[in-house]
Chains A and B, each alone.
Chain A
Amino acid sequence: MATTSVTGAERDTERRMRQQRHIERRRRFPALISYAVLVLFAIIEMYPIFLMLANSLRSDLDILSNPLGLPTQPQFGNYVEIWERSNFPSYFMNSVYVTGVGLLVLLLISSMAAFYLARFDFRWNKALLMVFLLGLTLPLKLAVVPLFMLMQSLDLLDTRNGLLLVLVAERLSFAIFVLYGFFITMPREVEEAAMVDGANVWQVYWRVVMPMMRPALATVAIVSIVSMWNEFFFPLVFIRSDELRTIPLGMLTIVGEFSTEWALLFAGLTLSSVPMIIAFVILARQFMEGLTEGIR
């Protein structure tokens, strides 16, 4: 009885191993093909960006005679020229200002609101949360006409701070959604201990809660930085003055002005993408995790 079961098991494992080997052999060839497909897609995704970088370092003549060539003598002068001949420096500073200050405001007010909604049990909190989350489904761009009139009456048209407020408002629901979701999974004990030690609510929020919230704040920050830096629609509607434009809107001016000077155009496109590319190279994992987590 015992012997038969052992041999049975042995036969069983042997059969499995044979099957395994058979499968391995069958899978080696497809493995090559699937690698080739993966590489092909990587080339499709990366080549245009490489082309942009490469052509930003060439001369117009060089690009026209051979669009696919590589830079033989790198012309870094293209960057200097586009920087000096266009309003690029102001576009850049405006983008930094709107994204930077906007992000700080967003993180501050959304974390405060999420703290309030998750940690106090006022009877209107549930309803308030629902109202905030409703914004996740409302496309604010379609409400741009009343928004425009509102900004006009508040004297916020054609100002960086007005633009910044709208960008913050547009991302508020998302930020509260992520932060609130993080909050309710966290125990209250630490905060209560801090209260016992004599801290008031504001100190608890600033010294205890904010440090604990770091992972969720990072997710919100990454998603918001990328989308605020690249925002085009609201600057298009609210910003008139060329010197107040952010980079995506400024690119319209640059493309209009230098439409025949391809080397400069490529340099301009590269300059406007470089901050994000550098950030991605340094923080690739955080970006990928943050941006995919952000949707759930």
Chain B
Amino acid sequence: MSTTSTDAMPRWRRMVPGRRGTGRKSGVGPGRLVHLFVVPALAVYALFVLYPVILTLYNSFFEFQGMQRGEWTGLGNFTALLTTPPLDERVVNALVNNIKIFVFSFVLQCVVGFVVAALLYQHRRGREIFKAAYFLPRLLSLIVIGFLWQMILSPNMGALNQLLEGMGLGWLAQNWLGSPSTALYSVIFVEGWYRLGFSILVFLAAMQAIPRQVFEAARLDGASGLRVLWHFMFPLTRPAWMILTVLTFISSFEMFDLVYAMQGVTGSPFYSSDTLALLFYRLAFGGEGGAAAIGLGSALALMLIVGMALVSGLMVFFFTRKRVDL
């Protein structure tokens, strides 16, 4: 017993091949079996993540006939996607929509979230209840939320228009999801409604991590609330701004579930709330793009993967370039 246990201890260390030079031990039962720890995860990951992603990137350079991969076309899919009507218009339209989604989502989720978090930071009473109330929507499915808001925003019997009329603001009531001028913004609003609580919590946690002395010192120096906000709160929550901006960017450009539920697979009306993710889905499964669709879809996927990685990287670079230390 004692011999095996003293042996067990160095074996733990020795499980590293190459470190002892001699390499494999004889009777390596546990020594080799130890790789079984990583094999299941690696197999699932390689098969269901790496392989499809790599193949997607690869496919974007080939012609497709239905599901059949044909000839190498170089950048053919990319030029076809960006120059063949009506696809080119759809791509530009969806891209512009995605940019709008990001810009307005940034305001709704990050800027408003920061302000609400700053207010919440000042009040201890009821803070937990407020936090829970803001956060609850985040747990629901975006499909459920989409359908729920579809009913709330419906033109005749919807709660919002009824509410507006009840408040004497009947002239504001309209067909929120049915008219091209408001459809996209309605979806953006619902998306913000869904994610706001998350931003508030992240900002609040960042603010609570700032040492109290900073604020006390600022107060004693007679700094006003707004100046404290601008000179301390704002720069000292920089990492939270970075995370939330990147996350908002990614979720804006991956936007699918909510638009699908509220506006259907073409982003009705008249593609006014179409997004790149919806367009990608239609290319892959929805009959848009004809027989060559798989190649076109893969090209779009590649541009999205690379573009999102690049912009996220730039954002991280921008946010970490200027460091604020206490």
* B131 to A, closest residue via Cβ: A288
Q: How far is the CB of B113 from chain A (nearest CB, A)?
A: 10
A107-132 contacts to B (CB < 8 Å): 108-110, 112-113, 115-117, 120-123, 128, 131-132
In angstroms, how far is the closest chain B Cβ from the Cβ of A123? 6
Q: B37 near A143 (CB under 8 angstroms)?
A: no
- Given the known interface contacts A169-B49, A197-B5, A295-B202, the answer about A232 and B141 at a Cβ–Cβ threshold of 8 Å is yes
Chain B min CB distance to A168 (Å): 6
B37–A287 CB distance below 8 A: no
Q: Which residue of B lies closest to A63 (CB)?
A: B157
Task: Decide: A248 and B144 in contact? CB cutoff 8 A.
Answer: yes
9-residue interface stretch from B95-103, B159-167, B175-183: B159-167
Indicate if the CB atoms of A251 and B247 lie closer than 8 Å: no
Chain A residues lying within 8 Å of B257, measured Cβ to Cβ, are 232-233, 248
Given A19-B222, A51-B159, A110 contacting B41 (CB threshold 8 A): yes
Q: Is B135 an interface residue (CB 8 A)?
A: yes
Q: Say whether, besides A122-B16, A145-B294, A291 and B198 are in contact (CB < 8 Å).
A: yes
Complex contact B1–A31 (CB within 8 A): no
Which of A108, A110, A138, A280 is the one whose CB lies under 8 Å from B53? A138
Main secondary structure on chain A at its contact with chain B? helix
> What is the interface size of chain A, counting residues whose CB is below 8 A from a CB of the partner?
103
B12 and A128 form a contact (CB under 8 A): no
Identify which of residues 257-279 in chain A touch chain B, using a CB-to-CB cut-off of 8 Å.
262, 265-266, 269, 272-273, 276-277, 279
Known: A192-B9, A196-B5, A288-B131. A147 touches B123 (CB 8 A): no
Q: A248-B144, A280-B139 are in contact. Are A30 and B225 (CB under 8 A)?
A: yes
Bound CA span A131–B51, Å: 12
A4 within 8 A of B: no
Question: Are A120 and B202 CB-contacts (below 8 A) given A196-B5, A229-B141?
Answer: no
A266–B159 CA distance with the chains assembled, in angstroms:
13
User: Among the listed stretches A38-46, A72-80, A213-221, which one makes contact with chain B, having 4 or more residues with CB under 8 Å of it?
Assistant: A38-46
Out of B44, B123, B131, B141, name the residue touching A109 (CB < 8 Å).
B44
Bound CA span A2–B21, Å: 74
* A42-B133, A45-B134 known; A272+B141 contact, CB < 8 A: yes
Instruction: Out of A19, A30, A112, A173, name the residue touching B40 (CB < 8 Å).
Output: A112
Task: Mark each residue of chain A from 126 to 153: 1 if its CB lies under 8 Å from any CB of chain B, else 0.
Answer: 0010011001011111111111111000
Q: Is the CB of B196 within 8 A of A45?
A: yes
A198 and B141 CA atoms in complex are apart in Å by 48
On chain B, which size bracket covers the interface?
35 or more
With A67-B157, A169-B44, A232-B141 as known contacts, state yes or no: A269 contacts B18, CB within 8 Å.
Answer: no
Selected contact of A112 from candidates B41, B53, B131, B136, CB within 8 Å: B41
B38 lies within 8 A of A113 (CB)? yes
CA distance A37 to B162 in the complex (A): 23
| Interchain Cβ contacts under 8 Å between A and B, 26 examples | A27-B225, A44-B193, A48-B137, A49-B137, A63-B157, A68-B163, A113-B37, A137-B312, A142-B280, A142-B305, A146-B56, A150-B52, A168-B44, A173-B49, A191-B12, A198-B4, A198-B8, A232-B256, A247-B141, A251-B261, A266-B151, A273-B139, A276-B139, A288-B131, A295-B202, A295-B247
Nearest 4 pairs between A and B by C-beta?
A169-B48, A113-B41, A116-B37, A230-B141
Q: Which residues of A contact B (CB under 8 A)?
A: 16, 19-20, 23, 27, 30-31, 34-35, 37-38, 41-42, 44-46, 48-49, 51-52, 63-64, 67-68, 108-110, 112-113, 115-117, 120-123, 128, 131-132, 135, 137-150, 165-166, 168-170, 172-173, 176, 191-192, 195-202, 205, 226, 229-230, 232-233, 237, 247-249, 251-252, 255, 262, 265-266, 269, 272-273, 276-277, 279-280, 284-285, 287-288, 291-292, 295-296
